[in-house]
Amino acid sequence: MAQHDLLDLDERLKRVSDLGDPLEVMNDIIDFEVFRPVPDRALKRSDRRKGGRSPFDPVLMFEY
């Protein structure tokens, strides 16, 4: 099994971008930040004073 490095990832992402990545097009058209208040109100967040992992960004989860 071949090992991949960061250069492979850069080349793969560039190739996808050159072919017309629909996520890039959608990201250019839609301002996802306008949706931020909705998931911020809907998602329950644990008490951060107890420690633990940082929560995922809800806009990022909504976007992809």
Rounded to whole angstroms, the Cα distance separating 51 from 31 reads 32
Which phi and psi (to 5°) does residue 44 adopt? Answer: -85, 130
For residues 31 and 10, give the distance between their C-alpha atoms in angstroms, rounded to a whole number: 25
Q: What confidence tens digit (pLDDT) does each residue in 7-60 have?
A: 788 888 899 999 988 888 888 998 888 888 887 788 877 777 777 777 788 887
Residue 31 inside a domain? The answer is yes
Residue 28 half-sphere exposure toward CB, CA atoms < 13 A? 7
pTM, entire model: 0.51
Total number of domains in the chain? 1
Structure tokens at 54: 């940082």
Domain assignment of residue 28, given as a range: 20-42+54-64
Residue 25, domain member (yes or no): yes
CA angle 17, 22, 24 (to 5 degrees): 60
Domain membership of residue 5 (yes or no) is no
**pLDDT band at residue 64 using 50, 70 and 90 as cut-offs:** low
